[in-house]
Every structure is written in structure tokens, then in C-alpha cells.
Amino acid sequence: MDKNETFFTLLLSSMSAIRHFHTPSSQLRLMEVCVNIASGNKSTYFREMQRLQRFFPSLHRRALLAPFILSANQTLSSYAIEYFFNTHQTKPTSHQRDCCCGELQFTKPELIFIFKTFNQVTQLKAEKRCIRADFLLKPTANKKLLFQCPDLCMTLTEESYGDWEPRNRTATPEADFELIDCPQAAKILRTTAANIKHLINSGIIKGFKLHYPGGPRTSLLSIKAFNDKYILRSEIAKQTGLSNEKLREILKKTTPLIIQGFPYARNIPIYKRAQLPSELTTALNTRNNFPIRTITDGKSLLTFSQAAEQLKLDLKDISQLIKIGILQTVFVPNQTEKKGRDYCTGESVTQAKVWRKGYLTVQEAALSCHSNGHMLHSHFLATGFIKPLALKKTFLINLEDVTKIAHHLKTYTCPSWLVKEYNYPLMKIVRLIESGGIQPLIPGDSNFIVGRITIPRSEAQNIITLHISKKYDTNPQNKKPD
């Protein structure tokens, strides 16, 4: 995609994300914001978000960022997520009389993101604090149902809705910003994914659930910030090796912060590192915080679980790698020499790690291509366009095919993607295809995907941009019937 295409794609996506913020006094300013965002520069995006926040000084940034975070455009979404995590915002002490927060319009998914759960949105609707937008009381085929909150700023100051920080902090872009899921965070903090979820829900760790499967996401920086200030009791026990009785004796004068889990589940005790007894602090500092068993020589023996961890695969995939000759095993009897178990040899695991570098899992490929695993599987693997190496639990895609997928995503699209990218009605796209306005690929083309309508992205963008510009042409003389 060349610079002009990138610019117009970002412009249309930012206009779509910001369309619900239009008020009579903000039209020109918001259009300028969209044009600046379309440059694709992360620093510029951050500046424009700060500018938007100045328009609504009492409004929590969740509401401003929701349309961007939920945008189908991966660039806008990733920038917005990073801005959300790196900005700190204190609870406002006053609300401007002329604030236009009640005029802002949101879709249902945006409301759920802003107020965290579907149930809380339903409650607000029941209390008439979230109402349908006046100009659109019924959804139509071409328009989504929109909602307004008459007192949005003050509603978000309530404890159950807004996550406010003790101090304000202006976000700055980072070169290595990374989102992680609960299992990844749990591995770093030596706890369970469920505990990480509770810590996120309680606000101790900054995070949120987006349109990802598998629970909420947080960032490496958020985990580091938590780890610098707090430590879980379970982590203290694992790092020091102390018994429960001994640990209880040492900590009896230190009051933990108790995080509530699910009903009938155990609570999660955490401690502030600054308040730990000196003997415990010394013991923690002399331990390796993140021990990982590594292969030291070719004679090492690893369990199947350790081999799976080294290769970043599922445990059940190891038997398949043994069957196809990637891994070698040896049988090690126990002390009675009547029973024993197979172990992977260190040499074969070392060679398998070199082999593994030539492949990506579906999720790894999705991250590389700025897409999502479900879409990659249904669009490229299930259709036979790409033939992966199928293990028992994991599909592996070689790097050449990953490059092929990335090129296809940049060069081609399909009707359902166009709907999300341009907020353009599906039936209008279908009519353009049927009338010959947009020419899809035909069978026999090397980029044709069986069972999918494959369209050159640049052609579709030009046609849809032309139709959108006609729709919003303010000169009555230039208007033509759709």
C-alpha cells in the first residue's frame, strides 16, 4: 500500500471513529484532527488525542478512545490502546456547564467498553442515564443504533465505571509497547491466569477486555509497575521456598491488601514490597526472579512439558514431533528399573528450536500480519489457500507462507472487511460488485481464494471513497442519486 492509499485509509477510518463526536461547534476542529491522524505518525496521534481531551476536560479517556480502540483499522486501534495504557488521568472535581458530553453518540459495543460490562450498560439504560440518540430512534439497514448519556462525564466519575489515577500523566509513544494476555502475565508473576484477571478487574493492574478471546489484556509496563510496588503471597512462597508456617510467622505484623476473587473462591493476598520485613526482602533479592530451565549441553534430558515450553508449543504437540522425527527421546527407568518414562534429548530439542524458527503459529502469524488468528484460520487455512503443518493442537505456518498472507492482506480484501474498514453498507458493496463497478478476482488467478470474494484493495478503496464523497457532497448541484 503506497503513501496515498495509507493516508486515505487512515483518514476514512479516523473519520469513522470520530463521527459520533461531531457537535455544531466542533466540525472543523474534528476534521483537522482526522487529517493529522491520517499521517500515520504515532506521536501525531498522541498529540491529537491530547487535543481531544482538552475539548472534554472532565470526560474519562475511555469514552474518547472507545471508537478508536474498537476500530477495524489495526494502526488506529494499536495507537489508541497504547495511549489508553500510558495516560494517567485524575478524577475531575468539577464539570463545565457548556460541556457537550451529553451530545456524544456511541454504538452498543463502544458503550460496553466504556462502562466495562453489558450488565452495567443495561442498568444505565433502565435508569434513563443512557438513551437512544434523538435523531435515530429505530435502526435501519444502513445505520447502527446510537446512544447518548446525558451526563456522561459525571456518570464516569462513579466508582464502578471510571478507573482514575492519583496523578495526571501525559502519554508518550513507546517503541516496544506490547500487550500480553492473562496466562503470559501469570507466568511472569508466578501466579494463575485467574488471579491476574481478578487483579485487573480490581484495578490493581491496568488492563481491559477488548474483542480478544481469552479474557482481558494488560501490558508489560503495567506488569512491571505492579511488580515494582507489590508482590503476591504465592510468589513470596515460591521465590523463598519457605513453608506456610514460617512465612506466616514472618508476615504476622505485615497487613496484606486483600483482592476479592470470584464468589466461593479464595481471596488473593498481596503485599507492598516497601512494607515487607527486611529478612524477607533479603531472601527475595538473593533469588532469581524468573528462573527458566535452559538447555546447557547435548546430554541434557528434558520432560515433554519442558520441551514444549522451549519450543513454545502445546504439550500434546510433542508426541507428533517425535513421530515425524523432529525430536528424539530416551527411556529412563526409575530406581526399581521396572518402570520409567521417555525424555527428550537436549541435542534434539536444540535442533528443534532451530527448525521452529522457520515456522509461526496461527496466533504468531496473526500478530506478524497485524490481523487476528480466527480470521487467518477461516480465510487462508480452512479454504486451502495456505497448507500449514498440522500438529495435534497447533497449526504451524512456514515463513514463506506468512509473507504470502501478509502480501494478500495488504493487496486484497473482501466485502465483509470493507464494511468494517469503511463503515459502508454491505448491500451497496454487493451491488457495486454485481454491476461491475468493483471487479473481483476469478478462479485461476494465483491470489483467488475458493469460497471467498477476493477484491483488489486499491480498486475497492477508490470506488468506495468516490461513493462516500458523493454522499457527503454539500453542494446540492453535485448531488446525484445513489
Taking only the tens place, the pLDDT of each residue in 174-188 is: 877 888 888 888 888
Q: Give me the pLDDT at residue 294, please.
A: 41
Per-residue confidence at 25, pLDDT binned at 50, 70, 90? low
Q: Which three cell numbers stand for residue 191?
A: 501466579
Alpha-carbon torsion (439, 442, 445, 449), positive or negative? positive
Q: Give me the pLDDT at residue 438, please.
A: 85
Q: Give me the pLDDT at residue 291, please.
A: 34
Taking only the tens place, the pLDDT of each residue in 303-342 is: 898 899 999 999 999 998 998 889 988 877 665 445 667 8
Q: Give me the pLDDT at residue 247, please.
A: 84
Q: Delimit the domains of the chain by residue range.
A: 3-155, 179-285, 301-356, 359-411, 414-471
Rounded Cα gap, residues 87 and 106, in angstroms: 22
Higher-scoring residue by pLDDT: 122, 403:
403
Answer whether 0.75 is exceeded by the pTM. Answer: no
The secondary element (H helix, E strand) that includes residue 354 is helix 346-356
Q: Which three cell numbers stand for residue 65?
A: 478512545
Q: Give me the pLDDT at residue 287, please.
A: 46
Taking only the tens place, the pLDDT of each residue in 349-393 is: 999 999 999 999 999 999 999 888 888 988 899 888 999 998 988
Rounded Cα gap, residues 204 and 323, in angstroms: 46
Rounded Cα gap, residues 356 and 265, in angstroms: 39
